[in-house]
């Protein structure tokens, strides 16, 4: 991992909300980074803090009187400490977001062509005609067939997958260096989902973007991730390359997530039990209350320090820490007969570029 030249480097990010029941810590002191041209996936069950973490990067969530603390270094600048006016520029032209529901992000009263053109003209001083040409070109690049004849169509005239393609086109108008994608394919059927992931992969090469991708779907992760950050209850449980995580997961939480997958003999259901109350998380490892390997040492103190278990792979688990015994959690053995094959050959995955 070439952390010294990361595009985005997040350190001890903590995001809290004030609620009627007191302070809720959604993201609790986490670190992660994204390099240029790299796809980092944040995975974890619903409520782990994935969305809050990524929306804290450009402060697009409303937290006051809660707050966002830590460091979010983007190309060397700390986005959490620059003035709002500067941050607005970063949001508009350097870091783009796409979300799960394209229909919510679109204006139903305007044609999609108009909306892309409008987005373009906010960023660039171009004539209407140039903007139209560029918008049609972008629609074409994101795979809208007969783009010029679809320019004047309204959002409702497009399918869900096409709407997401148009949202991607709008995200690309400013030629961003980082794309943050929060469950962008979750609302789509599996075939369309695969097409959108492939599109993102192609566009990543073309636009040389880093992608920070949020999902709870490990199948999606296998398809697009270079590196994975596994979150649980506001903390990072494990991180590593896609191959490390799928073929040799270390943290019991990661293992349980994978074991739910049909490829690993699971039923596709979830891990039994529920996340802890974010107002009052348990001592020790956040996952301990649901972990079959939890011992007394797992239930006291803070979340364990992350330990490098293999080069580039780190786990926050007592059993891998000082004085711990990795064999308690199965050590190096994992998966049906060792080789899992969950990361298949035709998806373009591999170790992080560095």
Ligand X SMILES: Nc1ncnc2c1ncn2[C@@H]1O[C@H](COP(=O)(O)OP(=O)(O)OP(=O)(O)O)[C@@H](O)[C@H]1O
Residues contributing to the site for ligand X (CB under 6 A): 17, 19, 24, 26, 44, 46-52, 216, 278
Place of tokens 């591999």: 350
Of the candidates 293, 288, 287, which has an alpha carbon nearest to the alpha carbon of residue 48? 287
Residue (92 or 270) nearer to ligand X, CB: 270
User: b/e string for 258-290 if b means 16 or more Cβ within 10 A?
Assistant: bbbbebbeeeeeebeeebbebeebbebbbbbbb
- Angle, alpha carbons 242-247-253 (nearest 5°): 85
Min dist. Cβ of residue 103 to Ni ion (A): 17
Quickly tell me which residue has 């986490």 as its tokens. Answer: 30
Picked from ligand X, Ni ion, none, the partner binding residue 49 (CB below 5 to 8 A depending on kind) is: ligand X
CA distance 60 to 29: 18
| Nearest distance, CB of residue 245 and ligand X, angstroms | 17
- Least separation in angstroms between CB 299 and ligand X: 21
**Taking the complex as a whole, how short is the minimal distance between the CB of residue 297 and ligand X, in angstroms?**
26
Q: Which of 51, 54, 58, 241 binds Ni ion (CB under 5 A)?
A: 51
* Nearest residue to the partner Ni ion, using Cβ: 51
Shortest Cβ 55–ligand X spacing (Å): 8
Q: Which is nearer to ligand X, 50 or 163 (CB)?
A: 50
47 binds, among ligand X, Ni ion, none (CB under 5 to 8 A by kind): ligand X
Within residues 58-117, the interface with Ni ion by CB under 5 A covers none
- CB nearer Ni ion, residue 51 or residue 316: 51
- Contact (CB, 8 A) for 227 and 221: no
Smallest distance, ligand X to C-beta of residue 275, A: 7
Terminal CA-to-CA distance of the chain, rounded, Å?
6
- 215 or 241: whose CB is closer to Ni ion? 215
Query: Which partner, Ni ion, ligand X, none, binds residue 48 by CB below 5 to 8 Å per kind?
Result: ligand X
Is position 185 an interface residue for Ni ion (rule: CB under 5 A)? no
Edge-to-edge strands, sheet with 68-74: 22-34, 8-19, 68-74, 77-78
Q: Does 164 interact with Ni ion (rule: CB under 5 A)?
A: no
Q: Which is nearer to Ni ion, 139 or 188 (CB)?
A: 188
The least distance separating ligand X from the CB of residue 229, rounded to whole angstroms, comes to: 12
Give the sign of the dihedral formed by CA 253, CA 258, CA 262, CA 266. Answer: negative
28 vs 177, which CB is nearer to ligand X? Answer: 28
CA distance 253 to 291: 7
* Nearest to ligand X of 148, 186 (CB atom): 186
Query: Strand 95-98's sheet: what is its strand order?
Result: 95-98, 178-182, 210-215, 39-43, 227-232, 235-241, 313-315, 307-310
Site residues (CB under 5 A) for Ni ion? 50-51
């Amino acid at each position: 991992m070439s952390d010294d030249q990361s595009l985005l480097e997040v350190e001890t990010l903590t995001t809290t909300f004030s609620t009627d029941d007191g302070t809720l810590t959604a993201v609790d002191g986490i670190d992660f980074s994204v390099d240029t041209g790299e796809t980092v996936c944040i995975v974890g069950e619903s409520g782990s803090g994935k969305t809050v973490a990524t929306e804290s990067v450009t402060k697009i969530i409303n937290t006051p009187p809660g707050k966002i603390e830590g460091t979010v270094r983007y190309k060397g600048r700390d986005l959490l400490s620059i003035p709002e006016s500067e941050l607005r520029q970063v949001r508009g032209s350097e870091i783009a977001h796409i979300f799960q529901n394209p229909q919510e992000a679109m204006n139903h009263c305007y044609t999609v062509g108009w909306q892309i053109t409008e987005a373009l003209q906010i960023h660039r001083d171009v004539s209407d005609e140039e903007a139209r040409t560029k918008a049609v070109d972008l629609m074409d690049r994101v795979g809208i067939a007969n783009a010029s004849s679809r320019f004047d169509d309204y959002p409702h005239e497009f399918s869900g997958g096409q709407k997401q393609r148009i949202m991607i086109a709008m995200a690309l108008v400013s030629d961003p260096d980082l794309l943050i994608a929060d469950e962008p394919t979750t609302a789509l059927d599996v075939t369309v989902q695969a097409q959108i992931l492939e599109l993102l992969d192609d566009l990543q090469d073309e636009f040389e973007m880093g992608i920070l991708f949020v999902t709870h779907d490990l199948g999606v992760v296998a398809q697009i991730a270079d590196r994975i950050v596994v979150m649980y209850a506001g903390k990072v449980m494990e991180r590593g390359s896609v191959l490390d995580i799928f073929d040799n997961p270390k943290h019991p939480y990661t293992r349980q997530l994978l074991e739910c997958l049909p490829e690993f003999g699971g039923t596709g259901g979830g891990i039994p039990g529920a996340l802890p109350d974010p107002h009052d998380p348990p001592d020790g490892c956040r996952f301990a209350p649901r972990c079959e390997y939890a011992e007394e040492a797992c239930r006291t103190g803070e979340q364990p320090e992350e330990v490098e278990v293999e080069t580039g792979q780190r786990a926050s688990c007592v059993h891998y820490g000082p004085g711990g015994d990795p064999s308690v959690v199965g050590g190096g053995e994992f998966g049906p007969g060792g080789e899992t094959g969950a990361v298949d050959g035709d998806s373009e995955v591999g170790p992080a570029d560095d």
